[in-house]
Structure 1
Amino acid sequence: MKMRWLACTLLCALAVPQAAAAAPLGITRQTQKEVMVTIYNGNLGLVKDLREVRLPAGMVEVHFMDVAAQIDPTTVHLKSLTDPAGLKILEQNYEYDLLSSQKLMEKYVGRKVRLYGGDGSYHEATLLSTQGPVYEINGQIHLGHHGRLVLPALPENLVSQPTLAWLLRSQADRPQRVEASYLTGGISWKADYVMVINPSDTRTDVTGWVTIDNRSGATYGNAALKLVAGDVNRAADRPRKGRMLEIAAKAASTAEASREFASEGFFEYHLYTLDGRTTIKDNQTKQLSLMSAGDVPVEKQLLYYGAEEYYRNAYGMPISTQKVQVYLELRNSKENRLGLPLPKGKIRVYKADRSGSQQFIGEDWIDHTPKDERVKIKMGNAFDVVAERTQKDWRKIASGLYEVEWEVALRNHKKEEQTVTVIEPVPGDWQVLHASHRGEKVEAHTLRFRVPVAPEGAAKLTYRVRLRF
């Protein structure tokens, strides 16, 4: 009787820890109440995942499933929104040993397996290596034995998807809303712009698109989306996904929205918040409208650049290899129907031909551009406006003192007047002695001329400078 009582006591003492260890509480995407995603330029995302679960009182092992495969486990933070003081984290693990045929075989190296033939017969074998593979059957070594490999059971410590595992202590048995936040790689965004200019090259329509590329290993359903534009510093000694400022993303309203991005200054960056929600699927590229503006004033510029070495040496032949470059410039202001801080990206420009069909005429990269700043877009080289540079004189006056005279011939084969801006990088201590057109010293070593060229005509710019090196 005494022995029976002792046995019952031991069974009761062991029952609670065994049950707790055998059944971790799974928290899946089905319990998700809200998800917020903030995406940065540098292949980085901040995820805040809010789920609801009933936690029993006492210690409980929890598996938080359906997280990003490229999660940085050192950035994970869990908190209870229902009872912050009553939920304590005792231990945290990240389970990333994912289930696959290769992983299953690796777990069974040195263990017994079965190889089934086509007739249903089988051999008991010991898996020696996954390379080949190599088996021991009846004391003999078989390389690449034909047959269907069957394993007796699923090994421990393999999960079908990345999982966060916590050992928690809850003060009360009650439903709780818990929020897990973490940084993940594999998700990025970029901006792309389209300009369509009018026939006279004076007005343009501008549209901007956000392209999101999600390869993080998770789907973010009905997510509140924010984008951060700016050069966020990343710690160089963390090659995977370094710690950085963890910013709490604000929840967006679930009401009907206009599907546009609202911009706000945020620290030394800009934050763009989608009005409404969107689903970002794993292995998906998604495009969302960023901005749109019509009838924006734009200025076409024809620029002809010189070089410093033109003043240090004598040239006996004309220089005709330089091209006249074409730029478009606009001001990012409210007066010009813009004024939204523009994140860096690629801008493509189109113009209608005589038949009304839009044709691609050039593209360029723009940097992060605050409001009221100018955007300058390089289009390419002019075809019908050409230039030729001739050194008319190069003279050494004294030690370190020189005089140089240049002639720039401009020819316009268009039926409209063109103005070419000639920009000369003049070295040393310099002074213009005389010039055919009015020059402007825009910087310490930059001389600029604006030269109008008549339709199907030509113009010559001549000037002489004295330089001291």
Structure 2
Amino acid sequence: MSRLTASLNLLATTALCAVALGGPAVAQQVDQGGGGPDRLALTIYNQNIALVEDVRSLNIAAGRARQEFPGVSASIRPETVTLSGNGLSVVEQNFDYDLLTPSKLMQGAVGREVGIVRTNPGNGAQTSERARVLAANEGVVLQIGNRVEVLRDDGAPTRVVFDGVPPNLRPRPTLSVTLDATGNPRRDVTLNYLTGGLEWKADYVARFDEKGGKLDLTGWVTITNNSGSTFDNAVTRVVAGTVNVAGGGRNQYNGGRGNGMSAGSNAAEGDAHVYLLPERVTVANNQTKQVGLLDAANVPASKRYVYQAYGFSTQEQAQAADVGIVFRSEPALPAGVMRVYVAGADGEPRFIGEDQLNHSPAGSDLVISTGKAFDVTVQSRVVASERVGSYGANRYRTRYQMEYRVRNATGEAKTVEVRQRAGGRDTELSNESLKGEMADAYTAVWKVPVAANGETVLTATITTGG
């Protein structure tokens, strides 16, 4: 920022005080609708959009009048606004988002007269004169009498006194609505609208006790507000799942164009799941806030070792097995990152890994991958392979004789899940040293027990389409 621009902002800041304290009052032509909502509810979606329910108790006399609603979201999508109240009908509405700032106040004075007050730093004497603002771009150009002068940042105290605030500038985003009203003037008025700039995500911390076969799970909702406005003491819901957004993305309001959305309860609604946060939330503009979502103790859990083969091959070196924590989600869990900790030998927590959790309905069996096992390995080998038939054009079946050497270098017995992805449907298993099963049409699974500091060799014949 240049010294001249800084001077402009300083002068205009002083001017704001001058308008408030010394300038003539600006006539109020409409009811300001209070300082903000009396009751507020937010429903935040995964797609950077939120539904706002804004309830205000107002006095609206019968007849036609313009009503202002200051304090709405700066990222409001005006075309989504609905207004309801006993005896009210909407004639038109306007969203005024040109906010009052020092520089805009000065720019709004271009072509008009202002007061200039200078203070002598030596004796404190003040001099005042009228000036016409010629320009307020990279600096302020004034015409004072027959001379043209540029306001400079020369250390001399200077104030600019404005006669009023331009009607198009607002101290905060304001929705103005022209209404036809009948009946009792005192009534509750409800605004519903979509806004961009609000997002949420879920994060989890799992404390895993392998010997006890359980974990303690804590969930957090992280809300980020870049809407340009603060939301105070709002009943807040977050929605897991995807709602239709026309155009597939964000628009100039930093949100999406959605339809068919409404605030919900802590339950499944259509193809989404709505979570009511336990307490009202205040989230300031440009703030990220975390709120507790769940706290579950003694959830049954176990460790799982998995080796996943995506094709039939002979490996020159053994591959480390993947390690995961297996548990069942009793409540539905929204998508998020789950971080897993265990207690070390000294009792202090140790971070062992994290994984992305997908949206999970209640009763889902979940596996959280935490990394690779240093001392549990699997090495596969193709003993033999042959074509055993064909079907269709250029399609054939192949029979593989496979060997999987499973090693466990720990001091405890382990069970390792060997998963073999086949190349086609209708896979058949035969000649197995351990009985396996088809997890789906393409995946064969064996659970291989391995003694402490031991080795188990799994053999099987797999016939699959190619």
Q: Quick check: TM above 0.5?
A: yes
Displacement of 1:117: 5.9
The code of the aligned residue for 1:152 comes to F
Secondary structure at the aligned position of 1:68 is classed as: coil
Q: Quick check: 1:293 aligned with 2:296?
A: yes
Partners of 1:320 and 1:328 in 2: how far apart? 26
Partners of 1:232 and 1:265 in 2: how far apart? 13
Asked if the contact 1:402–1:468 (Cα under 8 Å) also holds between the matched residues in 2, the reply is yes
**1:309-324 correspondence runs (5 A):** 310=312, 318-320=315-317, 322-324=319-321
Secondary structure at the aligned position of 1:410 is classed as: strand
User: Which of 410, 422, 425 in structure 2 is aligned with 1:426?
Assistant: 422
Provide the residue aligned with 2:268 in structure 1. Answer: 265
User: Which of 13, 24, 33 in structure 1 is aligned with 2:30?
Assistant: 24
Partners of 1:43 and 1:409 in 2: how far apart? 49
Q: Quick check: 1:455 aligned with 2:458?
A: no
Q: Quick check: 1:127 aligned with 2:134?
A: yes
The code of the aligned residue for 1:38 comes to T
With over 3 angstroms needed to count, the CA separation of the structure-2 counterparts of 1:225 and 1:125, relative to structure 1, is closer
Provide the residue aligned with 2:10 in structure 1. Answer: none
With over 3 angstroms needed to count, the CA separation of the structure-2 counterparts of 1:50 and 1:432, relative to structure 1, is closer
Asked if the contact 1:58–1:172 (Cα under 8 Å) also holds between the matched residues in 2, the reply is no
Displacement of 1:328: 1.4
Asked if the contact 1:115–1:125 (Cα under 8 Å) also holds between the matched residues in 2, the reply is no
Provide the residue aligned with 2:38 in structure 1. Answer: 33
Asked if the contact 1:28–1:66 (Cα under 8 Å) also holds between the matched residues in 2, the reply is no
With over 3 angstroms needed to count, the CA separation of the structure-2 counterparts of 1:420 and 1:246, relative to structure 1, is closer
Alignment length (residue pairs): 421
Asked if the contact 1:75–1:243 (Cα under 8 Å) also holds between the matched residues in 2, the reply is no
Cα deviations across residues 174-219 of structure 1 (Å, max 9, x unaligned)?
2222112211222222222221121426211222222233333333
Provide the residue aligned with 1:211 in structure 2. Answer: 222
Provide the residue aligned with 1:161 in structure 2. Answer: 172
Provide the residue aligned with 1:10 in structure 2. Answer: none
Give the alignment's TM-score, normalised by structure 2.
Answer: 0.79
Provide the residue aligned with 2:6 in structure 1. Answer: none
Secondary structure at the aligned position of 1:236 is classed as: strand
**1:24-103 correspondence runs (5 A):** 24-29=30-35, 32-80=37-85, 84-85=86-87, 87-103=88-104
Q: Quick check: 1:360 aligned with 2:351?
A: yes
With over 3 angstroms needed to count, the CA separation of the structure-2 counterparts of 1:266 and 1:401, relative to structure 1, is closer
Secondary structure at the aligned position of 1:29 is classed as: coil
The code of the aligned residue for 1:130 comes to N
Cα deviations across residues 123-173 of structure 1 (Å, max 9, x unaligned)?
946433503556677888877854657253332311110001112222356
Secondary structure at the aligned position of 1:347 is classed as: strand
Secondary structure at the aligned position of 2:39 is classed as: strand
Provide the residue aligned with 2:247 in structure 1. Answer: 236
Provide the residue aligned with 1:221 in structure 2. Answer: 232
Displacement of 1:451: 1.6
Partners of 1:71 and 1:24 in 2: how far apart? 21
User: Which of 178, 182, 188 in structure 2 is aligned with 1:171?
Assistant: 182
Partners of 1:117 and 1:200 in 2: how far apart? 78
User: Which of 370, 375, 382 in structure 2 is aligned with 1:384?
Assistant: 375
Cα deviations across residues 63-116 of structure 1 (Å, max 9, x unaligned)?
111111111111112221xxx23x222221111010112322332345555666
Cα deviations across residues 234-256 of structure 1 (Å, max 9, x unaligned)?
1116724314224256xxxxxxx
Secondary structure at the aligned position of 1:379 is classed as: strand
Asked if the contact 2:210–2:303 (Cα under 8 Å) also holds between the matched residues in 1, the reply is no
Q: Quick check: 1:412 aligned with 2:408?
A: yes
Provide the residue aligned with 1:188 in structure 2. Answer: 199
Provide the residue aligned with 2:12 in structure 1. Answer: none
The code of the aligned residue for 1:444 comes to A
With over 3 angstroms needed to count, the CA separation of the structure-2 counterparts of 1:166 and 1:442, relative to structure 1, is closer
Greater mean deviation of Cα atoms: 105-114 or 376-385: 105-114
Partners of 1:466 and 1:52 in 2: how far apart? 73
Provide the residue aligned with 2:19 in structure 1. Answer: none
Displacement of 1:266: 1.7
Displacement of 1:228: 2.1
Asked if the contact 2:210–2:302 (Cα under 8 Å) also holds between the matched residues in 1, the reply is no
Displacement of 1:432: 4.6
Please list every run of 5 or more consecutive structure 1 residues that lacks an aligned counterpart in the other structure: 1-20, 250-261, 333-338
Cα deviations across residues 266-308 of structure 1 (Å, max 9, x unaligned)?
2222222345544444444333332222222113211111122
Asked if the contact 1:199–1:352 (Cα under 8 Å) also holds between the matched residues in 2, the reply is no
Secondary structure at the aligned position of 1:26 is classed as: coil
With over 3 angstroms needed to count, the CA separation of the structure-2 counterparts of 1:101 and 1:319, relative to structure 1, is farther
With over 3 angstroms needed to count, the CA separation of the structure-2 counterparts of 1:407 and 1:167, relative to structure 1, is same
With over 3 angstroms needed to count, the CA separation of the structure-2 counterparts of 1:186 and 1:427, relative to structure 1, is same
Partners of 2:438 and 2:61 in 1: how far apart? 77
With over 3 angstroms needed to count, the CA separation of the structure-2 counterparts of 1:442 and 1:48, relative to structure 1, is closer
The code of the aligned residue for 1:446 comes to T
Secondary structure at the aligned position of 2:79 is classed as: helix
Asked if the contact 1:113–1:149 (Cα under 8 Å) also holds between the matched residues in 2, the reply is no
Partners of 2:433 and 2:43 in 1: how far apart? 57
Partners of 1:404 and 1:169 in 2: how far apart? 80
With over 3 angstroms needed to count, the CA separation of the structure-2 counterparts of 1:110 and 1:138, relative to structure 1, is same
The code of the aligned residue for 2:172 comes to Q
With over 3 angstroms needed to count, the CA separation of the structure-2 counterparts of 1:62 and 1:442, relative to structure 1, is closer
Secondary structure at the aligned position of 1:212 is classed as: strand
Partners of 1:78 and 1:142 in 2: how far apart? 50
Partners of 2:60 and 2:353 in 1: how far apart? 59
The code of the aligned residue for 1:456 comes to N
Please list every run of 5 or more consecutive structure 2 residues that lacks an aligned counterpart in the other structure: 1-26, 121-125, 391-395
Partners of 2:269 and 2:464 in 1: how far apart? 48
Provide the residue aligned with 1:443 in structure 2. Answer: 440
